[in-house]
Structure 1
Amino acid sequence: MLEKQDKLYRTAFGLALFTIFYNIAEGIVSTYLGFEDESLALFGFGTDSFIEVISGLGIAHMVLRIQKYPESNRDNFERTALRITGVAFYILVVGLVVSSVYNIWTGHKPLTTFWGVVISAISILIMWILVWWKRKVGRQLNSAPIMADANCTLVCVYMSIILLVSSGIYELFEIPYIDSLGTLGLAYFAFTEGKECFEKAKSNKYCCCD
């Protein structure tokens, strides 16, 4: 029984590490292609991925903590990671909103949003698999923190869907401002994530999106 539990915790830790490295790769590719294609939504999506890396470090640390001390509360490392992540999200929100308003004001349009469609579709698939796998491990361990992390991963799915819809509509119909409107949608979710980070840092609640 104990051996099976240790194996499940190793799986949970492996999923946390995969999430970190995937977000690094996604962030690099998305920000580069977003800049090259002048797609603010894709660039903002990539920037969000880098912020998720900071959050992922806190999650990986959390898995190790609850493996050793299942009844323990959130420690200083996790609270610090949450505060840094929250600040980064709020900065991102300001940047996305200001840039979106400027693009709408000037009538700026991306060169293409093709890569936004491709990257968002891949992200939706990967994130859904992660949600399913984290929930499976969380149920088997009867771990509220791991289940909460799985639920919070759904936010990444929602943001990917926004990118897919806005990029797809622009690529098909070249509707003006749709890239900027998609960016504002990303900003909304970034704001909710930032708010949640500060709320979690102040309490022992696992996930406000639970």
Structure 2
Amino acid sequence: MENQDKEKVQKGLHYAMILSVITIAYNTIEGIVSTFFGASDETLALFGFGLDSFVEVLSGVGIAHMIYRMKRNSINERDKFEITALRITGTALYILTAGLIVGAGISIFNQSEPETTMAGIIVAGISILTMYFLYAEKMKVGKKLDSKPIISDAKCTKTCFYLSFILLASSLIYEIWQIPYIDALGSIGIAWYAWKEGKEAFENAKSKSLSCSSDCC
């Protein structure tokens, strides 16, 4: 009976690792596509969304490392690699926040507008579907294993899900009605989420605990 329980746990952790790898791979592709079209179409919201995707890759690597350790032995707190990954992630998110706010200010001052936000609509739509799938599956395996770290990772994915709606809203509104500065406002919304995630990353690195009170670990 004990061997069967261990086998179920290992299967659950194996699936959690697969979901983690998918998250890293998807965010890498999303980051490349979003920054490319964000730069070429001059849409700050999409460009910032892409940069956030790259930062999420750093966070995803830390999560994958944690799950790898969980597969080998029972763990009680984060190791140095995971803490370093969180600190790098937090720093990158703070830099991204500052860059997006400054970029939005310059965009409004220069009265800059995107050529088109169609790419943002497509990227956001795909991201919403992907992040919802990843969130639901991570939450499912986290509850089965009664694993707070995996459940916290699912909540972090849920944050990315909400972030996609900000991009979709700003891109869709501009594409239909051409409302001035809506792209800049969308990038400020992304900056707010980036700041929130950065703050949580530093808090989690400081606590070292696998059990987090925040939504994103």
- Residue type matched to 1:47 in 2? L
Asked whether 1:208 is paired with 2:214, we answer: yes
* Paired residues of 1:79 and 1:201 also in contact (CA < 8 A): yes
Secondary structure in structure 1 of the residue aligned to 2:74? coil
Cα gap change, 1:123/1:207 in structure 2, threshold over 3 Å: closer, same or farther?
farther
Q: Gaps (5+ residues) in structure 1? A: none
What's the C-alpha RMSD, in Å, of the aligned pairs?
1.0
Aligned identity (percent) is 52
Distance 1:66 1:72 in 2: 10
The normalised TM-score by structure 1 is 0.97
Asked whether 1:68 is paired with 2:68, we answer: no
- Residue type matched to 2:212 in 1? Y
Asked whether 1:17 is paired with 2:4, we answer: no
* Paired residues of 2:69 and 2:75 also in contact (CA < 8 A): no
Q: Gaps (5+ residues) in structure 2? A: none
Q: Which residue of 1 aligns with 2:199?
A: 195
Structure 1 stretches of at least 4 aligned residues deviating more than 6 Å after TM superposition? none
Q: Would you say how many aligned residue pairs link Structure 1 and Structure 2?
A: 210
- Residue type matched to 1:13 in 2? M
Asked whether 1:145 is paired with 2:168, we answer: no
Distance 1:115 1:84 in 2: 29
Q: Which residue of 1 aligns with 2:61?
A: 57
Q: Which residue of 2 aligns with 1:120?
A: 124
Distance 1:109 1:97 in 2: 16
Q: Which residue of 2 aligns with 1:107?
A: 111
Asked whether 1:156 is paired with 2:160, we answer: yes
Q: Deviations over 1:17-51 (max 9, x none)?
A: 11001000000000000111000000000000000
1:209, CA displacement in angstroms?
1.4
Q: Deviations over 1:113-154 (max 9, x none)?
A: 001001001000000000000011011111111011101111
The normalised TM-score by structure 2 is 0.94
Cα gap change, 1:153/1:207 in structure 2, threshold over 3 Å: closer, same or farther?
farther
Cα gap change, 1:76/1:207 in structure 2, threshold over 3 Å: closer, same or farther?
farther
Q: Deviations over 1:170-206 (max 9, x none)?
A: 0000000000000000000000000000000000143
